[in-house]
Each structure stands twice: as C-alpha cells, then as structure tokens.
C-alpha cells in the first residue's frame, strides 16, 4: 500500500479586527483647508458684519435727518474732518488752536482730576470696606453727595480756586471719586471671611493682610470702579470746559456754536466718542490682565 506524502500548507496570518472600546470617542474627521478658510471667514463675518450694518444704518438715518433739518450730512462732515485733521496742531491765537491741542488739553485735565481721585478714592475705599465703624460713618455722606450733578460743584470750584483750570479739575475729581470708593469698598466686603480668619490665626499685620489678601482679591473690583470713573470724567470734561473756557474740546464746541459751524460740532461729537471708547477699551484690557 502506497502512502501519499502530505503537503505542508502555508499558515495564513490572522489579522485581528480592531473594535473600538465601548464609550471611546471616535476621532473627528480631518477638515480640509478650504473648510477651515470658510469657517474663518464665517467667524470674521459674525464679528464684523453686525457693527458694520449698525454704522451704515446710522449713516442712513443721519442722511435722512440732514436732508430735512439742514444739519450737515455725512459727506459735509467728512470734508470738515479731513480739513481739521490735516493740520491738527496749528496755533493762530489763544482761541484758535488745532483740534489736536484741544484733545490733549482735555485729556490732561481728565488725567489730573482722575489721578487725584484715584489717589484718594481707592485707599479710602479699602478703609471703608475694612472697618465697619468707618463704613457706617461715611455711608450716609456718600449717599448724600454721590447723586449731586457734577456741574453743581463747578461754582464751588470757581469760588475756591478763583481760576477756570483748577475748577475744571475739581469737577472731574469730585465726579469720578465715587465709583472708585464704592467699588473698592464693596470688593473688600466680599473677601471670604475664612481668609481673614486665617490671617488672625497667623497673627499677620494689617499691612500683610492688605498686600497678601485684600489687594489681590479686590483688584478686579477696583479696576471696574476705575473704568466707570474714567467714563464719568470724560463725560464731565466737555460740559465743564464749555462753562470755564480755555483750550479744550468743550470750549472748542462752544466756540464753533458761536460761529454756527455745525459740521465742526458733529466732528467734535465723534472725537469725544472715539476717545472715550479708546479709554474704556484700554481699561477693560487692563482689568482682564489682572483678574485672579
């Protein structure tokens, strides 16, 4: 009997199937470059288009009002602005100076009044928030004086200082100090009591309590008060300069009204708004930088 030889068969490797585990997240599909560009354009459009439409609506309403009331329209105002900013720092006399000088003088008054309010208001806010007796003592005074119109303080400043420049700075000071006092004191009262209890256990001095606990915790509140105060100061300076005179945006607006140059008044309105917006945005960026 013949025996046939057995032929060896090659072993076929078994490739295991990779089954994703239950609950495992599948990787997102890769997006193409074109899709990323389209998404970026859509994101930019969502940010840019609404303000642009709002500005176009403002121009449309302005043009319609100008056509019926005689107010200079956008084209006339633009031509006046181009002429003004083509030579912003000219000096042709004490009452005829470029718009650049008026902006700088107004900013300098705001800086002096606002800086003085910060030097006094922020430490006073810390003290009011830290000590209950001082808070009870000053609360009715602040509640009484804070609602007073800033321009009501102008005659007091003129009577005391006898000059327009310090009187305008005084009005800015007295109108911008309240937001800093109130926000700082509120921030101090909202510091967790556990932090202060730990400070008592460790026998920390009042200076260390201020530098290690109160200042870092209260800084966002203080910066919010600073942002509100600078907005109030920039609003007040125009009205104060209208009454006190001298070089500044407020006096320039009043002088242009006496000359019946309405286009320059509209330019001044936009300048005041743009400068105020820049100041507010700068302080908002500063506040975000120091958030804890």
Can you give the three-state secondary structure of 192-215, one letter per residue? CHHHHHHHHHCCCCHHHHHHHHHH
Within a domain: residue 26?
A: no
Look at the alpha carbons of 113, 116, 117, 118 in this order and tell me if their dihedral is positive or negative. Answer: positive
Higher pLDDT, 252 or 9: 252
As for how many domains the chain has, the answer is: 1
User: What integer pLDDT is reported at residue 141 of this predicted model?
Assistant: 92
- Measured distance CA(115)–CA(165) in Å, rounded: 15
- Measured in residues, the chain has a length of 292
Residues 6+ apart with CB under 8 A from 120: 177
Look at the alpha carbons of 165, 171, 174, 177 in this order and tell me if their dihedral is positive or negative. Answer: negative
Question: What number of CA atoms fall less than 13 Å from residue 42's CA on the CB side?
Answer: 6
The CATH number given to whatever domain includes residue 223 is 1.10.3720.10
Could you give phi then psi for residue 21, rounded to 5 degrees? Answer: -65, 155
Mean pLDDT computed over 209-224: 86
Within a domain: residue 30?
A: no
Within a domain: residue 214?
A: yes
Structure tokens, 222: 């203080």
Q: Evaluate whether 247 touches 90 at the Cβ level (below 8 Å).
A: no
Within a domain: residue 203?
A: yes
Mean pLDDT computed over 61-77: 86
Within a domain: residue 123?
A: yes
**DSSP class of 110:** H
Q: Could you tell me which of 107, 250, 130 has the C-alpha nearest to residue 190?
A: 130
Q: Hey, which bits of the chain come out as E strands?
A: none
User: Is pLDDT above 50 for 202?
Assistant: yes
pLDDT digits (tens, 9 = 90+) for 144-186: 999 888 889 999 988 998 888 889 999 999 999 999 999 999 9
Within a domain: residue 1?
A: no
Within a domain: residue 285?
A: yes
Max CA distance (Å), the chain: 139
User: What integer pLDDT is reported at residue 97 of this predicted model?
Assistant: 81
Mean pLDDT computed over 230-241: 88
Which domain covers residue 159, as residue numbers? 99-289
Within a domain: residue 176?
A: yes
User: What integer pLDDT is reported at residue 244 of this predicted model?
Assistant: 82
Question: What number of CA atoms fall less than 13 Å from residue 66's CA on the CB side?
Answer: 16
């Amino acid at each position: 009997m013949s025996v046939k030889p057995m032929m060896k068969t090659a072993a076929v490797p078994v490739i295991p199937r990779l089954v994703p585990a239950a609950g495992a997240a599948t990787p997102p599909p890769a997006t193409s470059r074109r899709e990323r560009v389209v998404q970026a354009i859509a994101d930019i459009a969502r940010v840019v288009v609404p303000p642009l439409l709002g500005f176009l609506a403002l121009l449309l309403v302005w043009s319609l009002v100008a056509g019926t009331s005689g107010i200079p329209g956008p084209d006339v105002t633009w031509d006046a602005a181009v002429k003004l900013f083509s030579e912003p720092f000219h000096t042709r006399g004490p009452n005829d100076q470029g718009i650049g000088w008026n902006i700088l003088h107004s900013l300098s008054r705001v800086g002096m009044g606002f800086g003085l309010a910060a030097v006094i208001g922020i430490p006073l806010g810390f003290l009011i928030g830290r000590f209950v007796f001082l808070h009870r003592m000053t609360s009715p005074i602040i509640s009484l004086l804070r609602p007073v119109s800033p321009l009501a303080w102008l005659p007091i400043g003129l009577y005391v200082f006898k000059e327009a420049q310090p009187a305008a700075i005084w009005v800015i000071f007295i109108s911008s100090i309240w937001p800093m006092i109130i926000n700082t004191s509120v921030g101090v009262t909202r510091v967790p009591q556990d932090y202060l209890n730990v400070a008592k256990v460790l026998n920390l001095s009042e200076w260390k309590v201020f530098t290690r606990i109160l200042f870092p915790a209260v800084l966002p509140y203080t910066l919010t008060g600073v942002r509100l105060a600078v907005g109030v100061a920039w609003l007040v300076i125009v009205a104060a300069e209208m009454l006190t005179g001298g070089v500044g945006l407020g006096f320039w607006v009043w002088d242009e009204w006496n000359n019946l140059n309405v286009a320059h008044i509209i330019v001044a309105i936009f300048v005041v708004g743009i400068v105020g917006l820049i100041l507010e945005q700068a302080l908002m960026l500063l506040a975000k930088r120091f958030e804890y």
